[in-house]
Chains A and B, each alone.
Chain A
């Protein structure tokens, strides 16, 4: 029983952490972030399974995580109000060539980062951009004028 409860707690904790850290950091992982992610995974595994080395324990944890993943996806699909909490909202970064600096600041992003992403999309200047949107998965999508 405690294995399921620990898994539910850790799932909720990871959900809160990923929402608090911000999508940009998760979408653009530096080597440090990758290592941190592995360390977090190891710590979480110890907290969930503790001394349990059994196949039964592993099956319970995987089944619980699978159920929770589907459950949160269903909540997000079924209840529109929960979507921003569970998945986040897209954020407008550039509108009609004008950089929205307040929105950038809230996402801890710089103009240079948006410019770099634009160049990767073969866009040479902000004037060419109609909309730039930070999507909930951390990627930036550009719509040209």
Chain B
């Protein structure tokens, strides 16, 4: 066809491969949207629990995040017997590349133990519950997978430990 400013191919098969490429691309789009709905790319919270003879520790937090997102982690401590010096020990993934917006209730003190952050709270009697809300924002350049484990200690004695990782997608 010489009268359309550029030569065009003719015939039944013209455009077929292009149409299959387009369909495949749309299928990939649909799969990405479906995976996002299934929480593969974050940020739905997941709950993990650990229990020792003295206390039960529960963590509710997303395990996958994306740069820039605000998110919440919630810790629940249930004392099964008196815990005189409750310490919540956070692994590096809690703080590395994260903006800490707030921790409620605020700990009585914060210290470091072997590169981990230790939050100290007041004594818990048997049956007491301590719930701590931690609000964060992910630093957009913080793309990594890190330990998001948390441990409950009675001063230096470990009572329960929740093993988790956190993945920050680019």
Chain A residues with Cβ under 8 A from B73's Cβ?
A: none
Please tell me if the beta carbons of B36 and A3 are within 8 angstroms of each other in the complex: yes
B33 at the interface (CB under 8 A from A): yes
Which residues of chain A are within 8 angstroms of B68 by Cβ–Cβ distance? 51-54, 57
Q: Which of B38-46, B105-113, B158-166 lies at the binding interface? A: B38-46
- Interface band, chain A: 20 to 34
Given contacts A51-B137, A53-B68, contact A4 B36 (CB under 8 A): yes
| Complex: A55 Cα to B141 Cα, angstroms | 11
Residue in chain B with minimal CB distance to A8: B33
The A-B contact count (CB < 8 A) is 65
Question: Within the assembled complex, what's the spacing in Å between the Cα atoms of A57 and B66?
Answer: 7
Assess the B66–A56 pair: CB atoms within 8 A. Answer: yes
Give the interface centre of A53, A54, A59 by most chain B CB atoms within 10 Å. A54
Question: Which one, A39-47, A62-70, A87-95, is touching chain B?
Answer: A62-70
Given known A1-B44, A60-B41, A67-B26, contact A52–B33 (CB-CB < 8 A): no
Residue B69 at the chain A interface, CB threshold 8 Å: yes
Q: Cα distance A63–B30 when bound, in Å?
A: 7
Say yes or no: A63-B29 contact (C-beta < 8 A), given A1-B36, A1-B44: yes
Instruction: Considering the complex, give the chain A residue whose CB is closest to the CB of B25.
Output: A66
Q: Which residues of chain B come closer than 8 Å to A56, judged between CB atoms?
A: 41, 66, 169-170
- Tell me which residues across on chain B come within 8 A of A66, comparing CB atoms: 25-26, 29
Contact A64 B137 (CB under 8 A): no
The answer to whether B67 and A53 touch across the interface, beta carbons within 8 angstroms, is yes
> Closest 10 interchain pairs by CB?
A53-B68, A54-B66, A63-B32, A63-B29, A54-B67, A56-B169, A53-B140, A66-B29, A64-B33, A60-B36
New contact pairs (17) apart from A52-B68, A54-B67, A64-B32, CB-CB < 8 Å: A1-B38, A1-B39, A2-B43, A4-B37, A51-B70, A52-B69, A54-B169, A55-B170, A56-B41, A56-B169, A60-B36, A63-B32, A63-B33, A64-B33, A66-B25, A67-B29, A70-B26
